[in-house]
Amino acid sequence: MEDVERKVHDAAYRIRWSPAERQFVARCDRYPGMSHGSDWPLDAVHGLQEKIRQFLIVESN
């Protein structure tokens, strides 16, 4: 589990306002197919981190 957390926290995240979605969208270069949107920038990042965390857990099993 430590390996998963390290991978989640070692990644670089970008947050941008999306006029089309009318929310902040977080993306990560290391996981280009994933994104997460929210009304609040940090919630967008935290949501994306959780998606990545779940992906890594499934991938490691």
pLDDT tens string 19-53? 999 999 999 999 999 999 999 999 999 999 999 99
The CA distance from 8 to 3, in Å, is 9
The predicted structure's pLDDT at residue 61: 81
Assess whether pLDDT exceeds 80 at residue 1.
no
27 vs 59, higher pLDDT: 27
Cβ-contact 39, 23 below 8 angstroms: yes
Number of compact structural domains in the chain: 1
The CA distance from 11 to 39, in Å, is 22
> Residue 20 sits in which domain range?
2-60
